[in-house]
Structure 1
Amino acid sequence: MCTRGKLSTLILSYMIHTYIQVHSPNYEIMRAFLLLLSVFTGVQTLTGQITLDSAAYFPAIGDTLRVAVDNNPVGIVISPPGGDQSWNFATLQSGFTQTQIVRALDPNDELNVFPNANLTFEQANSGLGYYNSSATSFALEGFVGQDPLAQGLQVQAPFSPSYVERWAPLAFFDIRNMESNLLVALAVDDIPGNLFDNLPLRPDSVRIRGEIRRTDVVDAWGSLTIPGGNYEVLREKRTEYRDIRLETKVGQFPWIDITDIAIEQLPIPTDQVGKDTTVSYYFWSDAAKEPIALIEADASGQVVQSVTYKDNNVISNVVNAQDTEARVFVYPNPAIISARFEFVNLPADQYTVELYNLAGSRVWSGTYYVNNYRLERVNVAHLHKGMYLYVVRNSQGERIAVKRLVVATP
């Protein structure tokens, strides 16, 4: 028999799922529905639920954020929406940590072209993010770092409007929508090598244009256990839709979208352009500035791919990446739809990843600029089921890694 509490959870889950499928949904109407639902089904605000303000969980100047990453999590289950839950992620483990120091803006920083920024800290892919922190949002104004085509160029990339990473106040049932755009222009002469040799005409200019839409739903609250601690948390589900287009210009002609041609013919990371949907779950607490846990799931939102979590420095095999040798990880392995290539502690350089079948034929290659750390997702759905070798080389052609990758395409 379905109890009243279970029925309310099922109804809530269905409504939230339906809501995030609708383009540009009406926040106020949906919130009213959820509040009515809480009255008629008994899903009410209970003792123990937390509400987060900006002072509680926004990073501030002087903070040091430390997280560990489990790229092969075991036993992590994404529960349905609802309150008063208990999550046990104590099995998480990692071979390295990441550290970010939040700093004040340097008045002599010539790279800062973001007038609304009031603090900065490093990004996961070795770029530098410029943020605006206010009482209601913590937003990325833009970043300075590697170009999205992974050609080793340093670019200044502004978001318009800014890309909101955290909201305040944050409470159960909160629903927010975010839209942002990214435009990065590059001069072809500044791009090294022969990137555009396969095109019928060599362009004068190239730009990357990105459109981002995201829906954030605080769909659960409860107690979360990770290695070294237990926290009262809010769970925020984020569904993000990205459309990254590559456009070129020749002479006085208008900009032309060459995304589809680029995916097929140009030596660029194919996962950096085109349309993509990502689903993630953030577990926020007033006891830490880091997310207590961040689950990255597949597009269905049900299959856990990796978990980033607050580093409490309690597991013996968690060590700082700066104290380890250069390594390349690939996961999941076997891979079904995509494989993630994680470069750890590599010196700044241009690296090429090549996939070979057992006949020795190269079936795919991608080039990435890595400065210490980078995480890239590679689509393998087009490959035949079987075993492959991946070879990683630096710009001098020296082999950094040679290992096996199994593709288990259905």
Structure 2
Amino acid sequence: MQHLLLCLISCLSWHFIQAQIFVPTSLMPRAGDTLLTAVDNLPTYIKNISSGRNQRWDFAMLEAPYIRSAVWKPASKGTAATLFKNAEFAAPVDEHTEGYYRTQGNDLLLLGAIGPDPLNLSRKSVLRYSPGLVERRYNLRYGDAFQADGNLVLTLGEDEIPSWFRKKLPVSPDSLRLRVSYDRQYDVDSYGRMIVPGGIFDVIRERRIEIIEMRLEVKVGRRRWQEVTKSVKDKELLRTQKKISYHFYASSSKEPVARVWMSSNEKKILKIEFKPRERESSIQNITSVRPDIYVSPNPAIASVRFEFYNLPPGTYKLSIFNIIGQEEWSKMYTITGNYAEQVDISQLKKGAYLYSLKDERGRTLSTKRLMVIRP
């Protein structure tokens, strides 16, 4: 009903030509702010992501199991404040990473972070960007475009190099050094009106293209650092990455109204972060989200959507059991972080079931109830 109401209001107002949106620097996050977002990892209902003037984007059908709360605090209150003395603020980048930010003119810069490295070799590394990455520029208007670069150099000692990664190297190093370059292009290519579960907003859209290149160096004994990028056995690990995302901003919201991550050919939507309805889902601090699995709808008729959240990289088994403990369905997944998948359950009879998630060691991480109904 709420979606229909939002659509009706939107249709009545969309026939007016929207003025271009202007997002002032006064909407930059500040210490004490709490920003609320939600993430749909399976946005199958979203079709229109067109660019240009006076666009209409209907994201009202997005859904997520919970709302994420990100608290911005003075950098001095961060867990690694002494490592980023030029930072003004500390705030979570995602469930695993704490970022350190500062403002510079119209830009919000990410100076560094504490979290997993780009290769997921270490779950807690000190990441320093030089110069800081432009996470968001304010006072943008339709047609604006700019480019910004950044670099990261990360050194890991012998004890920090996992055994699985050593097997992919041409030598067994005492330490390794990862050099990462970030080339970002920003283009404000659209404006219009957008519906998200959190409301209807006049927005501008920034299209962002990021090219990430990585080089790997190793050190053995007293020898000099040696580059081994081309000698790594798994070529996918260090391949050049192209990431494309759309960022929708409104003049009435500190949070982005939506952020859309696309495949490198821009033909598939990978996930969408959006401004949620605050009263219809539990709110969790983004840094305290535990590994878990969620299902929706529940009760279900013919299909369900399983969402895996905050899982360490690894292989997992998802199973559905009947009430006497017999396995009715199962599937293996290789997951890093968050993932969602639609599963056909039309073969299950009406009744109560349990769904359970186990890791590669056979340990049960979560077991919950699933109800199957029939019309």
Instruction: Map Cα deviations across residues 261-285 of structure 1 (whole Å, 9 max, x no partner).
Output: 2526xxxxx5x64211111111001
Q: Which amino acid in the other structure matches residue 198 of structure 2?
A: G
Instruction: Map Cα deviations across residues 92-129 of structure 1 (whole Å, 9 max, x no partner).
Output: 11112221100012279655322321111012142210
Q: Distance in 1 between matches of 2:197 and 2:205?
A: 18
| Aligned equivalent of 1:274 | 239
User: Please, what TM-score do these two structures have when normalized by structure 1?
Assistant: 0.66
Residue 286 in structure 1 maps to residue 251 in structure 2: yes
Q: Distance in 2 between matches of 1:115 and 1:325?
A: 30
Say if 1:74 and 1:91, in contact at 8 Å, map to a contact too: no
**Cα root mean square deviation, aligned:** 3.4
Say if 1:78 and 1:302, in contact at 8 Å, map to a contact too: no
1:297–1:329: structure 2 CA closer, same or farther, 3 Å change rule? farther
| Aligned equivalent of 2:277 | 312
1:106 aligns to what SS in structure 2? helix
1:60 to 19, 30, 37: 30
| Aligned equivalent of 2:182 | 212
Task: Give the number of equivalent residue pairs.
Answer: 310
Say if 1:248 and 1:258, in contact at 8 Å, map to a contact too: no
Q: Which runs of 5+ in 2 are unaligned?
A: 1-16, 296-305, 318-331, 341-356, 368-375
2:268 to 297, 303, 317: 303
Q: Distance in 2 between matches of 1:128 and 1:375?
A: 17
1:222 to 174, 177, 192: 192
Say if 1:54 and 1:134, in contact at 8 Å, map to a contact too: no
1:130–1:219: structure 2 CA closer, same or farther, 3 Å change rule? same
| Aligned equivalent of 2:315 | 353
1:274 aligns to what SS in structure 2? coil
1:235 aligns to what SS in structure 2? strand
1:7-406 equivalent positions in 2, closer than 5 A: 48-56=19-27, 58-106=28-76, 111-191=81-161, 193=163, 195-197=165-167, 199-251=169-221, 252-258=223-229, 261-263=232-234, 273-314=238-279, 316=280, 318-320=281-283, 326-328=291-293, 343-344=308-309, 352-353=314-315, 374-375=337-338, 393=359, 398-400=363-365
Q: Which amino acid in the other structure matches residue 189 of structure 1?
A: D
Instruction: Map Cα deviations across residues 184-223 of structure 1 (whole Å, 9 max, x no partner).
Output: 1111123455642564531011122111111111111111
Q: Distance in 2 between matches of 1:205 and 1:48?
A: 55
Instruction: Map Cα deviations across residues 369-406 of structure 1 (whole Å, 9 max, x no partner).
Output: xxxxx3489xxxxxxxxxxxxx8627x6625489xxxx
Q: Which amino acid in the other structure matches residue 171 of structure 2?
A: L
Larger mean CA deviation between 133-142 and 184-193 belongs to 184-193
User: Please, what TM-score do these two structures have when normalized by structure 2?
Assistant: 0.72
Q: Which runs of 5+ in 1 are unaligned?
A: 1-45, 265-269, 331-340, 356-362, 369-373, 378-390, 403-410
Larger mean CA deviation between 294-303 and 105-114 belongs to 105-114
1:169–1:351: structure 2 CA closer, same or farther, 3 Å change rule? closer
1:301 aligns to what SS in structure 2? coil
1:66–1:141: structure 2 CA closer, same or farther, 3 Å change rule? same
Structure richer in strand, relative to its length: 2
Deviation for aligned residue 1:351? 5.1
Q: Distance in 2 between matches of 1:144 and 1:324?
A: 17
Say if 2:260 and 2:271, in contact at 8 Å, map to a contact too: yes
Q: Which amino acid in the other structure matches residue 315 of structure 2?
A: V
Deviation for aligned residue 1:152? 4.2
1:352–1:112: structure 2 CA closer, same or farther, 3 Å change rule? same
1:263 aligns to what SS in structure 2? coil
2:159 aligns to what SS in structure 1? helix
